[in-house]
Every structure is written in C-alpha cells, then in structure tokens.
C-alpha cells in the first residue's frame, strides 16, 4: 500500500513539473458569437404595460432597420423576461455608450413618438417598470 501511495505521489509530482515547464500560449476565441443575456423583473401587475412599451421599441427598430434582441417571456421563476442581444463586434461592443444601431433606433423612436421629450418620457416610463435586472455576457460556438 505504501508503494502505491509513493508511486501516485511521484506521478503527481512529475505531471506538475511537466505542466510548469510548458509556457502557456496566448489564444483568442475563434468561431464564436458573443451575446448579452439580460433577465428582467417588472413591477407586479405591470408586465402588460411593459409589453406595450416594448412593442413601440420594436416598431422603432423596424423603422430604423436595426435588429432587435431575441426575447423570451418566462412562465415561472423570479424574472418576467429574458433578452438576448448579439454583440456584432464581440465584447468590444460593450465599450459603446451608444452603438451606431442604437443611434439609428433612437432617431426612429423620436420620430415615432413625435419629439425627443416624448421618446425620453417613454424610455423613462419603461425603466420605472423594472424592479431588477441582471446582465451577463455569453459566447456561443458558431
């Protein structure tokens, strides 16, 4: 039994020394798409109003020719909705305060709502309906 324990210890030490002698190589993720996944909890009883506002957001996106997110509405659990946005330029998209598509969408929303003030009011109303949200970044193999 003692010999087996010594053999295992020797093999472990040999593997550890081998692993330390090889330098890691820098690698970039290839063949993946990057996404943000956001789950949203709306105020109780306000999901219908949130859906109406989201419909207006989608309408502005269609007018602007900008792709919207994939949406899922939960039937159970803490959250009401999940939104998945593809990051066209990968994680670098997260560096933008407003993406080029976001600017196009905003202009279409302003035109749709009739003024910058009305569009801001709609966006503020939507934000006021959100109790909490959680966003994560994910990658998916192409």
Residue 39 bridge partners (DSSP): 82, 134
Residue 9 maps to a domain: no
- Smallest CA-to-CA distance from 59 within 131, 132, 51 is with 51
Residue 23 maps to a domain: no
Q: What is the pLDDT of residues 80-128, one digit of tens each?
A: 999 999 999 899 899 988 889 999 999 999 999 999 999 999 999 999 9
Residue 37 maps to a domain: yes
Residue 134 bridge partners (DSSP): 39
Domain residue limits at 121: 32-141
Residue 115 maps to a domain: yes
Residue 117 maps to a domain: yes
Output the pLDDT for position 129: 98
Residue 61 maps to a domain: yes
Find how far residue 5's CA is from the centre of its chain. Answer: 48
Strands 81-87 and 130-141: unpaired
The two tokens of residue 92 are: 């670098």
Predicted TM-score (pTM) of this structure: 0.79
Residue 19 maps to a domain: no
Q: What is the pLDDT of residues 12-31, one digit of tens each?
A: 656 656 655 678 888 888 89
Contacts of 80 (CB under 8 A, 6+ apart): 40, 41, 42, 47, 50, 73, 74
Distance CA(43)–CA(79), nearest Å, equals: 10
Q: Which residue has the higher pLDDT, 5 or 140?
A: 140
- Return the SS3 of 134: strand
Residue 74 maps to a domain: yes
Q: What is the CATH number of the domain that holds 110?
A: 3.30.70.100
Q: Residue 1 above 60 pLDDT?
A: no
Tally of domains in the chain: 1
């Amino acid at each position: 039994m003692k010999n087996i324990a010594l053999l295992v210890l020797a093999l472990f030490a040999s593997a550890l020394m081998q692993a330390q002698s090889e330098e890691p190589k820098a690698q970039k993720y290839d063949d993946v798409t990057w996404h943000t996944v956001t789950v949203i909890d709306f105020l109780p009883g306000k999901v219908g109003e949130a859906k109406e506002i989201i419909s207006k957001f989608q309408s502005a996106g269609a007018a602007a020719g900008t792709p919207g997110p994939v949406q899922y509405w939960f039937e159970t659990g803490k959250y009401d909705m999940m939104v998945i946005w593809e990051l066209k330029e990968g994680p670098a998209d997260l560096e933008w305060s407003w993406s080029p598509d976001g600017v196009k969408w905003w202009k279409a929303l302003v035109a749709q709502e009739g003024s910058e003030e009305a569009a801001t009011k709609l966006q503020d109303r939507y934000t006021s309906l959100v109790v909490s949200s959680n966003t994560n970044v994910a990658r998916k193999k192409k």
